[in-house]
Amino acid sequence: MSNSTIVLIGRVLLSVMFIMAGLQKLGAPGGTAGYMTSLGLPMAGVLVWAVIALEVLGGVAILIGFLTVPVAYLLALFCVASGLLAHFDFGDQTQAIMFMKNLTIAGGFLVLAANGPGSISVDARRSA
């Protein structure tokens, strides 16, 4: 299997969770806003829409390899920030695992940002 194919598979795997999570939030933004409020986040009713947009649009951008490097950095930052804000409770094993998952995904995005989207991507076609 070529490196470009492997990078494409990696982009698909990184993007699916964000696209699905954003679409689920879109179906019930009030529930997510309520959770954000319970975490003490200000303006949760507005913030929820920014998160939905980032997850869906960022996920699609990673999937197709469009603006891959800046979007990968943005999603890495989002993973770390949301891990610190929502899952930084090491007394709860589930939350500790969720925090580590977020850090792991951030690492994947950083590797993607450092190495680019591969030749099977919109970015590669745009630069050709």
Enclosing domain of residue 43 = 3-119
Is residue 126 situated within a structural domain? no
Is residue 10 situated within a structural domain? yes
67-112 pLDDT tens trace: 999 999 999 999 999 999 999 999 999 999 999 999 999 999 999 9
Burial 6-38 (b: 16+ CB within 10 A, else e): ebbebbeebbeebbebbeebeeeeeebbeebee
Number of domains into which the chain is organized: 1
On whether the pTM is more than 0.85, the answer is: yes
Is residue 127 situated within a structural domain? no
Q: How many CB atoms lie within 10 A of CB 87?
A: 19
For residue 32, give both structure tokens: 């997510």
| Among 64, 59, 80, 73, residue whose Cα is nearest residue 111 | 73
41-56 pLDDT tens trace: 999 999 999 999 999 9
Is residue 114 situated within a structural domain? yes
Confidence of residue 128 (pLDDT cuts 50, 70, 90): confident
Task: Give the Cα separation of 74 and 76 in Å (integer).
Answer: 5
Portion of the chain with pLDDT greater than 90, in percent: 98
Is residue 125 situated within a structural domain? no
Confidence of residue 115 (pLDDT cuts 50, 70, 90): very high
